[in-house]
Every structure is written in C-alpha cells, then in structure tokens.
Amino acid sequence: MSFRVALAVLALALGPAVALSQNAEIAFGALSHDKTLPVEVTAERLSVDQSDGTAIFTGEVLVGQGDMRLSADEVLVVYAGEGSASRRIARMEASGQVVLALGAEAAEADRAVYTIDSGSIVMTGNVLLTQGQSAISGERLVVDLDRGTGSMEGRVRTVLQPGGAQ
C-alpha cells in the first residue's frame, strides 16, 4: 500500500482528529543547507540550448547539493545572465514525480522550482511532506532553506497525534 493511500485511510479513520486549513507554517530542514555547494546532476539524457541558456535533464534525474537530494522525471536548469556563458545556475525546475529529501524529511509533488540565490524551493501539485512519523499534505509548499522553515498552502491536511501517543 502506498504511503499516500495509508495516510488517506488513517485520516478518514480519525475523522475529527484530522486538521484541515488553508495555510500551515512548518519547520523544514533540521540540517543546515549550504546553497553555495556544487550541484551534481545525474540523468539518462541532457539537451543544452546555448541561445537561451538552459539545459534539460531527462530520465531518472537525480540532483544532489550537499545533504539535499531532488529526483524527478525532468529537470530544466536555467543559467543566470545572457546565454549560459556565466555557468551560474539561477534556478532548477523539476517536473514529474518530484521528490525532495533533506535529512530525515522528504517531500513529494508534481513540480518544484529551486531558486538558488534565494535558497527557496516551491513545490506544487499534490504535495506530501513527511517529517519522521508526521505527514502534511497540500497544494503548495514553499521552503526557505536558509531559515529552515516552510509554509504549506491549499487545503492543508495533517493528522495530529494526541499527547503521549508517540
């Protein structure tokens, strides 16, 4: 049984113990993340467009930066400045079965945009965040890697554990 199905079954069984809201502030990234570390990408294919300064990685893409890992079906890398001559990554846009992991925390979504300079990751579409035994879902997760915080939006759903039941 998939984790999403198990979470849905648990949420339905608990009924009123499930919290629903439009927004939720959360802690994310117990480990500090250094956005200046090199970014390593592994994929089945790479297409580069020098005219617009982009590179598209497809097929079982795995992106690593320090302790952070991101996997997806496709990742578009956009370089800063005119063309790709600067070789400085401005942002990475992941799509298709996106999974982000940092330490013991993991999030999955349909899409994600990692803006390197601001240290922010915006995940959208069927977002599920797991932190240890806890899980929270919504439509949009904004993670600030510099501060280690996040915000979940759009029909936020989580299961709250009563005190002492851990």
The answer to whether residue 22 scores a pLDDT higher than 80 is: no
Segment 97-128, tens digit of pLDDT: 999 998 888 999 999 999 998 889 999 999 99
Rank 33-37, 61-65, 147-151, 161-165 by mean pLDDT and report only the highest: 61-65
Q: Give yes or no for residue 84 having a pLDDT over 50.
A: no
| pLDDT (mean) for 43-68 | 92
| Residue 101 located in a structural domain | yes
In a domain, 164, yes or no: no
Contact predicate 114/102, CB 8 Å:
no
Cβ atoms 51, 59 nearer than 8 A: no
Domain count, the chain: 1
Question: Which of the listed ranges 16-20, 70-74, 84-88, 105-109 does the model predict with the highest average pLDDT?
Answer: 70-74
Q: Decide if 49 is inside a domain.
A: yes
Angle at 91 between CA 151 and CA 46, to 5 degrees: 125
Query: Domain for residue 122, yes or no?
Result: yes
Q: Which residues pair with 18 in a beta bridge?
A: 159
Look at residue 166 and tell me if it is in a domain: no
- CATH number of the domain residue 137 falls in: 2.60.450.10
Give the per-residue pLDDT at 34.
Answer: 81
Query: Bigger pLDDT: 136 or 30?
Result: 136
* DSSP per-residue letters across the chain: --HHHHHHHHHHHHGGGEEEEEEEEEE--SS---TTS--EEE-SEEEEETTTTEEEEEEEEEEEETTEEEEEEEEEEEESSSTTTT--EEEEEEEEEEEEEETTEEEEEEEEEEETTTTEEEEEEEEEEEETTEEEEEEEEEEETTTTEEEEEEEEEEEPPPTT--
Query: Does 79 fall in a domain?
Result: yes
Q: What angle do CA 30, 40, 27 make, to 5 degrees?
A: 15
Domain range enclosing 77: 3-159
What is the structure's pLDDT at 32?
59
pTM exceeds 0.95, yes or no: no
* Mean pLDDT of all residues in 36-64: 93
Q: How much is the pLDDT for 40? A: 94
Report yes or no on 125 lying in a domain: yes
Report how far residue 114's alpha carbon sits from residue 119's, in angstroms, rounded to the nearest whole number.
7
Name every residue whose Cβ is closer than 8 Å to that of residue 10 and which is 6 or more positions away in sequence: 159
Query: Is residue 64 one of the residues assigned to a domain?
Result: yes
